[in-house]
């Protein structure tokens, strides 16, 4: 059987590309995290102001049933960071996974902020994986706030497949603020989640680009914004494509959210209704951006929602 040289080269390229694709999400390194004292945590993070009490934090730090790890994994051609939280002792029964997507732009080490929430979710029976996105927590790369950094979330699937203790058939997405936008995009692009939940998520980038804070954000994140305005806004504005949300979605918001107006959630819900999608909405009276005063109920509602869509 004869092969032309061009055909042989093409076959080699296919093999090479396939091998590279299999590397996405490959775990490079994982290390157990050592938590600082409460006083140190509240000085270096927003934990006291936005996320938890001292008792919650100390209780989570002292609970020896669970382990918190930092994982370095590859995404595109760079190494990025994800947090992992689950039982220290591996059992035969694999646990469902919540992929938590943080808020904000570039962040440093925010493990102390997230620990109390992860502890609640783990006690409810889940393992948590949280991508930090390129440019954050020491990782290289440029965070495009929903651009190429979306790959860091999509490639978490490869990371999950490398964890023996988790049930890759029961993966769920959970997002806060900017993380909500990441969740919507991941669903649109086919992330294999069974259901998703968000709180304080933004669904329309347009009004966020006209404020003084928004203009500063544009200059830092998208220096070519004026040339790509429509592309940048459309990609990150789920309100423009509710028909692409094809898994059950729970939207939560605080009625007194001064950072992202609850109208982001309410208008998006209307679009989902018109597209005949499966969704739920909870607006917490008086709740602020990350729903700190409602954090226990927020996570409880999320857990109950996810449990409805688990498969055995």
Average pLDDT of the chain is: 92
Q: What is the pTM of this model?
A: 0.92
The pLDDT value recorded for residue 212 is 77
Among the residue ranges 73-82, 214-223, 240-249, 255-264, the one predicted with the least confidence is: 214-223
The pLDDT value recorded for residue 16 is 37
Q: How large a percentage of the chain has pLDDT more than 90?
A: 84
The pLDDT value recorded for residue 17 is 41
Task: Using pLDDT thresholds of 50, 70 and 90, give the confidence band for residue 215.
Answer: confident
CATH 3.40.50.1820 fits 29-307, yes or no: yes
The pLDDT value recorded for residue 21 is 44
Residue-range domain boundaries for the chain: 29-307
Q: Looking at residues 2-22, what average pLDDT do you find?
A: 40
Task: Using pLDDT thresholds of 50, 70 and 90, give the confidence band for residue 304.
Answer: very high
pLDDT in tens, 118-177: 999 999 999 999 999 999 999 999 999 999 999 999 999 999 999 989 999 999 999 999
**Res. 48: pLDDT tops 60:** yes
The pLDDT value recorded for residue 182 is 98
The pLDDT value recorded for residue 216 is 80
The pLDDT value recorded for residue 43 is 95
The pLDDT value recorded for residue 253 is 98
Q: Looking at residues 247-269, what average pLDDT do you find?
A: 97
The pLDDT value recorded for residue 208 is 82
The pLDDT value recorded for residue 219 is 84
| Short-list 161, 133, 144, 13, CA closest to 75 | 133
Q: Looking at residues 89-108, what average pLDDT do you find?
A: 94
Q: Looking at residues 32-38, what average pLDDT do you find?
A: 97
Task: Using pLDDT thresholds of 50, 70 and 90, give the confidence band for residue 55.
Answer: very high
Task: Using pLDDT thresholds of 50, 70 and 90, give the confidence band for residue 269.
Answer: very high
The pLDDT value recorded for residue 300 is 98
């Amino acid at each position: 059987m004869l092969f032309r040289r061009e055909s042989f080269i093409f076959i080699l390229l296919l093999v090479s590309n396939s091998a590279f694709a299999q590397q996405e999400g490959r775990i490079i390194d994982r290390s157990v995290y050592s938590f600082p004292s409460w006083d140190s945590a509240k000085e270096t993070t927003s934990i006291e102001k936005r996320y938890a009490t001292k008792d919650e934090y100390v209780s989570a730090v002292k609970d020896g049933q669970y382990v918190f790890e930092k994982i370095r994994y590859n995404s595109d051609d760079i190494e990025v960071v994800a947090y992992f939280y689950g039982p220290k002792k591996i059992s035969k029964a694999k646990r469902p996974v919540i992929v938590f997507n943080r808020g904000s732009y570039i962040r440093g080490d925010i493990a102390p902020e997230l620990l109390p929430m992860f502890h609640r979710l783990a006690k409810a029976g889940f393992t948590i994986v949280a991508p930090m996105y390129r440019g954050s927590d020491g990782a290289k790369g440029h965070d495009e706030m929903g651009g190429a950094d979306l790959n860091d979330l999509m490639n978490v699937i490869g990371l999950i497949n490398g964890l023996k203790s988790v049930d890759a058939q029961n993966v769920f997405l959970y997002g806060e603020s900017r993380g909500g936008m990441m969740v919507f995009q991941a669903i649109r692009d086919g992330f294999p989640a069974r259901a998703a939940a968000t709180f304080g998520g933004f669904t329309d980038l347009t009004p966020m680009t006209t404020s003084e804070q928004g203009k500063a954000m544009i200059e830092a994140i998208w220096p070519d914004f004026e040339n790509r305005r429509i592309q940048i806004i459309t990609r990150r504005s789920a309100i423009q494509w509710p028909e692409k949300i094809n898994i059950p979605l729970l939207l939560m918001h605080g009625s007194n959210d001064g950072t992202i107006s609850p109208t982001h959630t309410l208008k998006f819900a209307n679009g989902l209704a018109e597209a005949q999608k499966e969704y739920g909405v909870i607006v917490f009276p008086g709740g602020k951006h990350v729903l700190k005063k409602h954090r226990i109920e927020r996570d409880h509602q999320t857990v109950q929602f996810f449990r409805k869509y688990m498969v055995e």
